[in-house]
Amino acid sequence: MADVGMNPEQIERVFGALARIEQKIDGHIGTVQAHMEHDEVVQKALFERVEKLQLASARQKGYMTAMGALGGVLATAVGYVVDKMLGHH
């Protein structure tokens, strides 16, 4: 049987390639972590903006409900006054 092992030059090239791959992976890990941190900041800002929009929408709905109720009260009061005025004549 013949020895099928790798010669020292081939082993050196394989280990060199593995070292370059490891460096690239380490670089990508740093990049991904930086993106994740940035995304967390962006997500927090978006959440705060959505929360503000929801609050503004709730306020607007409350304002519109109050104005509708006030309009109803005013219409009833005007109707009552007109009815009293017409009823006395």
Parse the chain into domains and list their residue ranges.
Answer: 9-89
Record the tokens describing residue 62, joined without a space: 């409350």
* The pLDDT of residue 88: 59
Residue 89 has pLDDT above 70, yes or no: no
Q: What's the mean pLDDT in 75-82? A: 88
Q: How far apart are the C-alpha atoms of 9 and 2, rounded to whole Å?
A: 19
The string of pLDDT tens digits covering residues 62-74 is 888 888 888 888 8
Phi–psi pair at 33, nearest 5 degrees: -65, -40
* The pLDDT of residue 20: 92
The string of pLDDT tens digits covering residues 12-57 is 998 899 999 999 888 888 888 888 888 888 888 888 999 999 899 8
* The pLDDT of residue 35: 85
Residue count of the chain: 89
Helix ranges, 1-89 (H): 8-88
